[in-house]
Amino acid sequence: MRPMELPASALLRGTWRSALLAVGLVVAALAAYLLLGWFAPANRVVRAWNDLSLDMRVAIDLMLMALAAATAVRIGRVRQAALFDGQARRCRICRHDLTAATLDRGVGRCPECGTPFAALT
């Protein structure tokens, strides 16, 4: 039996939320950096940031970008795992109800679009 093949649209379903979160985190960080100069108590924070060496500022920026990327990847992986776990209930492509679909040794096909699925019980 051939391994199950899915189109890219099924593999990328739900990843727009992760990408939007990553972009939102970057925009929020930039907005916070720009707005900090407008508030008097925050001027000390800005001065302390500017007093850091360039290498330290770059390291902190890279760490924050890596944290944003890791968060986005984690959310995407959790979403993909939820889609994979629910594949015996709903088709990953057309979202058709698969509870009444016939199975042959734990593997079946969607009656609407023909996408293969495995019943993980």
In-domain check, residue 3 = no
- Residues 6 or more apart in contact with residue 19 via CB below 8 angstroms: 72
Residue among 28, 70, 59 at smallest CA distance from 49: 59
Q: Are residues 21 and 79 in the same domain?
A: yes
Domain count, the chain: 2
- Segments forming the whole domain that contains residue 20: 8-85
Q: Between 53 and 18, whose confidence is greater? A: 53
pTM above 0.85, yes or no: no
Q: Are residues 52 and 80 in the same domain?
A: yes
CA distance 96 to 29: 41
CA distance 34 to 1: 57
DSSP lists the bridge partners of residue 97 as 90
| 59 band by pLDDT with thresholds 50, 70 and 90 | very high
**pLDDT greater than 50 at residue 73:** yes
Percent residues over pLDDT 90 in the chain: 15
**pLDDT greater than 80 at residue 60:** yes
118: helix, strand or coil: strand
Average pLDDT over residues 13-35: 77
